[in-house]
Chain A
Amino acid sequence: MSVHAPILAIGVALLGGFAAPLWAKLHKTLRDLWVLLVVGFVGVCVGYVAVHVFTTGIWVYVLGGRSPQETVASGGFPIRIMLTVDAMSAFMGVIAALLAVVAFPFALKYIAEEEGKTLSLTLGLLLLAGILGMAYTGDLFNFFVFLEVTSIAACALIGFRTWTSRAPEAAFKTMLLYSVSGLLFLLAVAFLYGEYGALNLAYISAQLSGTAVDRLSLALFLGALLMKAAAAPVHFWAPDAYGQAPAAKTLLLVVNTQVSLYGLWRVLFTLYGGILDAPVGWLVVSLGLLTMGVAAFMALVQTDLGRLVAYGAVSQIGYMLLGVGVGLVALSGRPDYGLVAMKGGIFHMLNDALTVGLLFLCVGAVEWAKGTRDLRELGGLGHGLPEVALCFLVASLALAGIPPLNGFASKILIYEGSFRLSPILTALAVLASILLLAVFARAFQGAFLGPRVEVKATVPWVFLVSMGVLVVGILVLGLVPGFFVEGLVTPAAEALWRGRALYLAAVLGG
């Protein structure tokens, strides 16, 4: 049974999502237990896959064949849909499972029964299945299908509170953007299919030559995936979306954005790895700097705490783009600083997930306790909610990159790598960090410091446990980063940097 672990993670999440309304018709507690069981099982499967891939190598699983390793059919051509889990995919799966295990118990308590709890749990499980599908798949059209699954589930979660007027507006705008992004992606896949007659990522990667249609497809891929990953100048859906979704589900939305970024790396490094040239890397680097700057400046003027944290999350995407973009620019000669910058960018994905996740959980706890998120009305919550204040402080310092927290560990790698390429990049990145520190200091002061204020409801212990898990993660990753960089991040970065040949060999056979 353990040979089926990658597909079990996706399949059980799907089954769990479809079956949750049926359990809810029997009894509400059965549904809660079912959701916890499914999320736990998915976490175990993802952990098993990660351990196996990091120790043994790329795991290929063919759907619907006679055996899971039957990649190439009798004509010498891969025809079945297959999951190709290399170190980078396993890394993304670990991030998704970690945040899901933290978010679902929080959501079980946070979303009230009359607000449609069953629907939100079903949508969350479908979103998790889509994210894991996007991370594990080795087939371009399958990636598109899971991309659309996550788009629909994410937008339904964003517009979940239909009794407000802002949530449907945010959901409509986000769905418009996700639709255009998905359709551009499909157009690119259609061009490549028309040219090479295949949909398998490894097969097309082996066949690609630099024709005009290939470059057109590259442009469409870049446009579609950068739109979905909230890179400037098309980042404006993210603050609306993150701000309006229920707080626990925002964690899954953050992972959704990150896995779209993973899709971009997969397309650029593995699919187009043979024919890529430096201007694409410079485009990614400059968009990363633009995202950092724009988001940090917009965060200065926010009064809604949730929207402020959302702009902070968008600015961190800029760091990931900068780190891996430097690696893209340096891809042809492969100097050492490219790998260092890429390790920083990929490590930052994990750190950003934990940090921004913790910030959104704190915002959720504040909204639960006080009923509002407006910074002009909040204040003095540090007395009534000391644990939430501490978590918010730790997460803000981690986001700004203060040692010895995990943000510093990944940002120093990004600074080191980008400095060798051009010192201006490092200077701008450091400036953005300082600006974000100022923004979050103001937010902390506005929400938590001040004379004592009465709170409406106390924070349940489930919230504190979820937040505590993330705080422990942030501290551990900050105090002993070396172990995680060597064990988790370096294999993932190497899989993109030099691993294209291994990827092709694992699927197409020797």
Chain B
Amino acid sequence: MIGNLPFVVCMILVALGLWTLVAKRNLVKLVIGIGLIESGVNLFLVALGYVHQGIPPIYTYAPKDAPMVLPTPQALTLTSIVIGLATTALMLAFAVVIYRHKGTLDARKIRDLRG
């Protein structure tokens, strides 16, 4: 049970991010909420690859016959981080444009499209 603790922490992060999306009104805070969910999922992916007493999966000057952690989840996490970067940049750019039009970042006051 104690071995599952990293996964529980990641799920708490994801839950916090989802709560932020629902409860907050400022557009930048919504972007931060997405960032929290992303961090939770990325941490979960990296934690999946753990091998007991493993070393980083690099052969350069590695100690002999040591178990290595799985490298595939690290590649998956890297891809996810890059995608998160592009997403955050796009959402912040749109937040800037909305601010220039409306003068406010409150999601309840920007409801032009309704119904």
Contact = CB atoms under 8 A, between A and B. Distances in A.
B41 A187 contact: yes
Interface string B93-113: 011011001100000001011
A267 to B, nearest CB: 18
Interface residues of B, number: 32
Interface string A180-220: 10110011001001100000000000000000000000000
A168 B98 contact: yes
A166 B113 contact: yes
B48 A159 contact: no
B32 to A, nearest CB: 12
A175 interface: yes
A183 B38 contact: yes
A172 interface: yes
A55 interface: no
B45 interface: yes
A175 B90 contact: yes
Contact of B97 (A152, A159, A194): A159
B79 A194 contact: no
Given A152-B87, A168-B94, A187-B41, A176 B21 contact: yes
A141 B86 CA distance: 18
B90 A145 contact: no
Given A175-B91, A186-B41, A165 B98 contact: yes
B89 to A, nearest CB: 9
A151 B87 CA distance: 9
A156 B94 CA distance: 9
A301 B101 CA distance: 27
Contact of A179 (B34, B73, B94, B102): B34
B113 A170 contact: yes
Main secondary structure of the interface of A (DSSP, over half): helix
A14 to B, nearest CB: 15
A32 interface: no
A170 B114 CA distance: 11
Interface string A148-184: 1001100110010010011011111001100110110
Contact of B98 (A155, A169, A187, A244): A169
A180 B34 contact: yes
B80 A186 contact: yes
A236 B72 CA distance: 37
A222 to B, nearest CB: 17
B110 A169 contact: yes
A148 B38 CA distance: 13
A352 interface: no
Contacts of B37: 179-180, 183
Contacts of B95: 172
Nearest to A244: B113
B69 interface: no
A240 interface: yes
A302 interface: yes
Contact of B112 (A141, A145, A165, A190): A165
B113 A176 contact: no
18 contacts: A148-B83, A152-B86, A152-B90, A155-B90, A159-B94, A162-B97, A165-B98, A165-B101, A165-B102, A169-B110, A172-B94, A180-B34, A183-B34, A183-B37, A183-B38, A183-B41, A193-B76, A301-B115
Interface of B: 14, 18, 21, 27, 30, 34, 37-38, 41, 44-45, 48, 72-73, 76, 79-80, 83, 86-87, 90-91, 94-95, 97-98, 101-102, 110, 112-113, 115
Given A180-B18, A190-B48, 15 more contacts: A145-B79, A152-B87, A152-B90, A156-B90, A168-B94, A171-B94, A172-B98, A179-B37, A179-B38, A180-B37, A183-B38, A187-B14, A187-B44, A193-B72, A244-B113
